[in-house]
């Protein structure tokens, strides 16, 4: 039987999304980036932690230049959010022990619509790269 905690574990709540203009500006102005093709990752690790704030906050962006139709842009965003949602435990485990918060922006780079497996591979690669960078070494 499912408990309420297990049902909430795999959701993507509003608190887990990066939506304030101030936070987004800070992320893009002082964050670091790398590419896990077909995604460009911009991230900012902060030491400050609050009990009511999420450990990981995400933002997904798809360029209007690459996909003119909103339907296609929204499909890519849905795929990225779903891949993150199913693998977010990996991200939370990375930061939970260190007492840090992270803001991550996933920017889609490719001109063609992706398949889910391609996006999930990039999401898992992102977790691996962030794990390395948190340990101190840059891959």
Per-residue pLDDT tens digits for 48-106: 655 545 688 999 999 999 999 999 999 999 999 999 999 988 888 877 666 678 899 99
- Residue 110 sits in a domain whose CATH number is 3.30.230.10
Domain-located, residue 113:
yes
137 within domain boundaries: no
Lowest mean pLDDT among 32-41, 68-77, 114-123, 126-135: 126-135
The predicted structure's pLDDT at residue 9: 66
CA 87 to chain centre: 10
119 in any annotated domain: yes
- 1 occurs within a structural domain: no
Token pair in block for residue 16: 């887990």
- Domain contains 107: yes
Neighbours of 125 (CB within 10 A): 16
What's the domain count of the chain? 1
Give me 45's structure tokens.
Answer: 């690790």
Cα 58 from Cα 44, distance rounded (Å): 11
Residue 3 within any structural domain of the chain = no
Task: Find tokens 């790398």 and name the residue.
Answer: 34
Domain containing 57 equals: 13-129
Residue with tokens 């009990």: 51
Report CA torsion sign: 81, 86, 91, 92: positive
Answer whether residue 29 is part of any domain.
Answer: yes
β-pairing, 56-62 with 101-108?
Answer: parallel
117 within a domain of the structure (yes/no): yes
């Amino acid at each position: 039987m499912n408990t309420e905690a297990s049902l909430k574990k795999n959701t993507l709540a509003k608190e887990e999304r990066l939506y304030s203009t101030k936070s987004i500006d800070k992320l893009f102005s002082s964050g670091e980036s790398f590419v896990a093709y077909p995604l460009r990752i911009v991230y900012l690790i902060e030491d400050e932690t609050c009990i009511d704030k999420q450990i990981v906050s995400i933002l997904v962006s798809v360029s209007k230049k690459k996909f003119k139709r909103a339907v296609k842009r929204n499909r890519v965003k849905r795929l990225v959010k779903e891949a993150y949602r199913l693998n977010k435990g990996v991200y939370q485990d990375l930061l939970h022990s260190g007492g840090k918060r992270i803001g991550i922006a996933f920017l889609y780079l490719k001109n063609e619509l992706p398949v889910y497996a391609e996006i999930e591979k990039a999401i898992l690669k992102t977790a691996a790269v962030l794990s390395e960078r948190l340990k101190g070494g840059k891959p």
